[in-house]
């Protein structure tokens, strides 16, 4: 690290949104090396920005002094909690800062901050998102009900201007989608993330210290500074290309793949219809359920529940290889649950609906007819 922050004039043509926001953030630091009531939020943002080699950072001594100030603030809060109760949002802020700094919030001088936090049920959206992010960051379990509430907040971002709430919600969902079981949620975050990035002001900030620290984390994690320059206005329709493969048999006796180009966020059900129009081998039949279409017949092969033969849909990072078939954990996480009981074991597989599965560039889909 350097002894001081690089100035904004050093290389203005390559200055990124992150650099400008970080410069602004450090100018708000107090004489005690903290940020008044926003010390945990500011330190979290700065620490995450450290993963960007181009981002200017405080030197090591400055960071150590700020971290010590953070610890002092937490100790004071814990010491006075009988006099002034610690609110869930404040507890979540400090827990997140400790996690970002590689300190365990479950073991802060004998106190389990996460355990205390999980005993509170947040009512307001911002508090809820903050608490969920703190729990996820410490690898605590996040329930499906909590995930649904986060998605509702993110999807209504266009209806209000509460930037900090949306930013915190996106960060919580970003943490959750790191679990492969929730990877399909990724597409839900793109539009609100870009909307936040466009709110940056000429001085580099996002309105105030609070919003700037949060929004910095969103645009850094999403790589939006690069994405915005490449893709321009998100309202413009962009095409993406995916592959769609059919396998028949547990030993894959039939293997057929087709590439489909369609507008981004097209449903996989529409992709299936396009494939059927291009190649009769991809002809399918589906029944309608409350959660959408359920595919039961493909390429002339119909599911046989009595024989435990089913079509399973996988969403994969690369074209499937019969010599290295995907595990059931990669079954696309949408649809209804099917429980199959055999003499040997009890299997629980998520059988996929195809309407809510939206395609992204580079996705590879596999429908595999196999015996469970």
Q: Are 217 and 225 in contact (CB under 8 A)?
A: no
Task: Give the tens place of pLDDT for each residue, 10-25.
Answer: 434 334 677 888 888 8
Instruction: Tell me if residue 47 falls in helix, strand or coil.
Output: helix
Cβ neighbors of 122 (< 8 A, separation 6 or more) are 88, 89, 128, 130, 131
User: Which percentage of the chain shows pLDDT scores above 70?
Assistant: 76
Cα dihedral angle (102, 109, 73, 59), rounded to 10 degrees?
A: -30
pLDDT score of 189 = 74
Residue ranges and CATH numbers for the domains of the chain are 12-231 (1.50.10), 239-371 (2.170.130.30)
The reported pTM is 0.48
In this prediction, residue 333 carries a pLDDT of 55
More reliable by pLDDT, 18 or 94: 94
Running DSSP on this structure, what letter comes out for residue 239?
E
Band of the pLDDT at 329, cuts 50, 70, 90? Answer: low
Instruction: For residue 131, give Cα distances in angstroms to 127, 169, 179.
Output: 6, 10, 18
CB 22 within 8 A of CB 55: yes
- Specify the DSSP class assigned to residue 37: G
208 known member of a binding site: yes
Q: What are the pLDDT digits (tens) for 71-87?
A: 999 999 888 877 777 78
pLDDT at 50 (0 to 100):
64
pLDDT at residue number 1: 29
Render the burial of 23-43: b for 16+ CB within 10 Å, e for the rest: bbbbeebeeebbbeebbbbbb
Nearest CA among 95, 17, 105, 34 for reference residue 70: 34
């Amino acid at each position: 690290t350097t002894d001081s922050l690089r100035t904004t004039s050093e290389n203005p043509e390559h200055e990124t949104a992150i650099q400008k926001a970080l410069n602004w953030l450090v100018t708000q630091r107090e004489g005690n090396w903290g940020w008044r009531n926003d010390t945990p939020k500011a330190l979290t943002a700065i620490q995450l920005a450290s993963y960007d080699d181009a981002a200017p950072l405080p030197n090591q001594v400055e960071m150590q002094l700020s971290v010590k100030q953070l610890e002092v603030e937490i100790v004071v809060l814990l010491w006075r909690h009988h006099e002034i109760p610690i609110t869930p949002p404040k507890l979540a802020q400090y827990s997140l800062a400790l996690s970002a700094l590689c300190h365990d919030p479950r073991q802060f001088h004998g106190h389990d901050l996460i355990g205390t936090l999980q005993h509170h049920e947040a009512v307001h959206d911002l508090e809820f998102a903050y608490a969920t992010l703190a729990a996820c960051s410490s690898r605590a379990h996040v329930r499906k009900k909590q995930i649904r509430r986060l998605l509702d907040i993110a999807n209504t971002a266009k209806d209000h201007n509460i930037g900090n709430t949306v930013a915190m919600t996106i960060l919580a969902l970003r943490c959750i989608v790191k679990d492969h079981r929730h990877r399909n949620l990724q597409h839900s975050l793109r539009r609100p993330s870009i909307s936040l990035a466009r709110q940056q002001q000429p001085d580099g900030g996002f309105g105030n210290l609070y919003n700037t620290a949060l929004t910095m984390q969103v645009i850094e994690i999403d790589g939006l500074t690069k994405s915005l320059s490449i893709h321009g206005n998100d309202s413009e329709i962009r095409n993406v290309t995916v592959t769609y493969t059919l396998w028949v048999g547990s030993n894959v006796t039939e293997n057929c793949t087709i590439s489909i180009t369609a507008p981004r966020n097209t449903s996989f059900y529409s992709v299936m219809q396009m494939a059927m129009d291009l190649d009769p081998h991809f002809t399918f039949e589906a029944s309608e359920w409350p959660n959408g279409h359920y595919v039961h017949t493909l390429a002339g092969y119909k599911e046989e529940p009595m024989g435990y033969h089913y079509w399973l849909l996988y969403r994969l990072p690369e074209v499937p290889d019969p010599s290295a078939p995907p595990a059931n954990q990669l079954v696309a996480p949408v649809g209804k649950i099917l429980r199959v009981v055999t003499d040997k074991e009890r299997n629980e597989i998520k059988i996929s609906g195809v309407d809510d599965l939206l395609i992204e560039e580079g996705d590879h889909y596999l429908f595999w007819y196999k015996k469970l």
